A and B are shown apart, each in its own frame.
Chain A
């Protein structure tokens, strides 16, 4: 029996711990000085794929576009237990919109055999939470987002999706399918640096020409202005050290009658 193949598309996103500066045209963030990190939800997707591999056997292929520091992310995936890491090159200058990413990934996937595509439910850049659904729509296969459980069956998977308020629904979906992973059954495993180095020296990263190039912004949507949210209505910042701040918070709560001084 041929083991199933799970493809995990991953991406790099700006580290939001840092300040985001705009470029001189104000049309995008300034990518020059931004630190890029692996999208945390993609790590959930990879973890779930690896858990499925361990439970029932699967070939896990991680795929990414050529983005800043993506090699590190791909080698980390190999160190964690992925069987294959593919870097799609030549698609654009370091960053792709989700619309373009979806289109190119769909093209690449249509030349691949796969049972499941599992990707992060969202990424904090342009089209938050759109990749799984867009891929599903373009590939014409069933898809589900906000997935918190995957039970592989024969020719199908049963997925658990979270709705509002913690309510969940379970649906049996035929494979191939595309899933947007919210949370894997366990926290993403740790890959020791030594194993990442091993993966690097083994050189298991496969560079493949992307099936096309970026074509620019989505037709019919024009960016007028990019800006940080208005500071009006922002919190009044309490100054001082921790004891002084604690004192003030207690005063505020007392002034609302919520605690007694």
Chain B
């Protein structure tokens, strides 16, 4: 059994994700504790290896078609990396890539899977982990004795600076033959049209969630947003219902925002949403459920009904 730690490098449009740097920092710490190497697995965009100084080795595969992300190709390459380096731990962000590859890699590599991990540390030769379950309502502390583990870790919780180091890791190209005959073909990558709204640039956001209960009710939140002169944003359920367009979505699969004030109405605070807004300077949350996870990151909270609160706020903020 090896002691190497493998971090999957996520990148989009030639930019390495913050989560990747966070995991490189954590991976460095664990590899040092166990006397193993930190291996960065980089698929597509080999020139990004220059940014991965925290790693001892960058295993890379070149090919324009990989850069756009093709799950089957990435999986074949990652399996090759973990099998060839003597890995004991694989770290991936809890993202689309992590959800695709983490679980299937664990199945194919006969490793123990851990998901929605929020903390990891070495305890001698073992690994201690904390996972979120029930959408963040409970935490589970776990001791991992399995010889192989695949961890998907929530982004935004670790310092990314720890993984942004200068260095010149060895660069090793993966044999393209590993890809063999794939049953999948990458077709295209599309970046959404902003629709003229950039919620990441707004000084404040009025954000609504499932609790708003209907498209017609958005008007109540819109009045508060208008009074503040800021845009409306929303959590996933509101976007999925088609009540607001995609560019308004805050969260893992939407935008990450850091306004001076984030006013959340009817948002329970699923981990995916918190990942997109927890670093806001001031968070005020309104939710009728006093145990909603949003109150764990909010500075101020209230359990009054948003349908009572929004009109009162609009009245006070309007000129």
Interface bits B280-305 vs A (CB < 8 Å: 1, else 0): 01111110011101011011111111
Interface of A (DSSP majority class): mixed
Q: Which residues of A contact B289 (CB under 8 A)?
A: 17
Q: Which residues of A contact B68 (CB under 8 A)?
A: 169
Q: Which residues of A contact B69 (CB under 8 A)?
A: 161, 163, 169
Q: B interface vs A, CB < 8 Å?
A: 10, 12-13, 17, 68-72, 94-97, 99-108, 112-116, 128, 132-147, 149, 152, 183-192, 203-204, 228, 240-242, 246-247, 249, 252-256, 260-261, 263, 268, 281-286, 289-291, 293, 295-296, 298-305, 308-309, 312-313, 315-317
Interface bits A1-36 vs B (CB < 8 Å: 1, else 0): 000000000000010110110000000010000000
Provided the pairs A16-B137, A137-B107 are in contact, do residues A142 and B72 lie with their beta carbons within 8 angstroms? yes
Q: Are A29 and B142 in contact (CB under 8 A)?
A: no
Q: Are B301 and A242 in contact (CB under 8 A)?
A: no
Q: Which residues of B contact A134 (CB under 8 A)?
A: 103-104, 106-107, 113
**Contact residue among A14, A174, A228, A247 (Cβ-Cβ distance under 8 Å from B183):** A174
**Contact residue among A122, A144, A183, A250 (Cβ-Cβ distance under 8 Å from B71):** A144
Q: Are B141 and A224 in contact (CB under 8 A)?
A: yes
Q: Are B107 and A235 in contact (CB under 8 A)?
A: no
Interface bits A170-185 vs B (CB < 8 Å: 1, else 0): 1111100000101100
Q: Are A180 and B99 in contact (CB under 8 A)?
A: yes
Minimum distance in angstroms from B92 CB to a CB of chain A: 11
Q: Are A162 and B299 in contact (CB under 8 A)?
A: no
Q: Which residues of A contact B282 (CB under 8 A)?
A: 252, 256, 258
Interface bits A120-148 vs B (CB < 8 Å: 1, else 0): 01101111111111101110001111100
Provided the pairs A16-B135, A170-B190 are in contact, do residues A145 and B316 lie with their beta carbons within 8 angstroms? no
Q: Which residues of B contact A246 (CB under 8 A)?
A: 309, 312-313, 315-316
**Contact residue among B70, B296, B301 (Cβ-Cβ distance under 8 Å from A237):** B301
Q: Are A228 and B138 in contact (CB under 8 A)?
A: yes
Q: Which residues of B contact A122 (CB under 8 A)?
A: 99
Q: Which residues of B contact A158 (CB under 8 A)?
A: 187
Interface residues on A, range: 35 or more
Minimum distance in angstroms from B3 CB to a CB of chain A: 16
Q: Which residues of A contact B105 (CB under 8 A)?
A: 137
Interface bits A222-255 vs B (CB < 8 Å: 1, else 0): 1111111100011111101111011111101100
A54 at the interface (CB under 8 A from B): no
A218 at the interface (CB under 8 A from B): yes
A167 at the interface (CB under 8 A from B): yes
Q: Which residues of A contact B299 (CB under 8 A)?
A: 235-236
**Contact residue among A14, A131, A169, A220 (Cβ-Cβ distance under 8 Å from B146):** A220
Provided the pairs A143-B104, A168-B190 are in contact, do residues A173 and B241 lie with their beta carbons within 8 angstroms? no
Q: Are B70 and A171 in contact (CB under 8 A)?
A: yes
Q: Are A236 and B187 in contact (CB under 8 A)?
A: no
Q: Are B261 and A222 in contact (CB under 8 A)?
A: no
Q: Which residues of B contact A163 (CB under 8 A)?
A: 12, 69, 95-97, 253
Q: Which residues of B contact A253 (CB under 8 A)?
A: 204, 261
Of A121, A136, A166, the most chain B CB neighbours within 10 A belong to A166
Q: Which residues of A contact B72 (CB under 8 A)?
A: 142, 173
Give Cα distance in the complex from A124 to B281, angstroms: 28
| Known pairs A161-B71, A245-B286 / 13 extra A-B pairs, C-beta < 8 Å | A129-B94, A138-B107, A145-B99, A164-B253, A168-B190, A170-B186, A183-B240, A219-B146, A237-B303, A249-B300, A250-B313, A258-B203, A258-B261
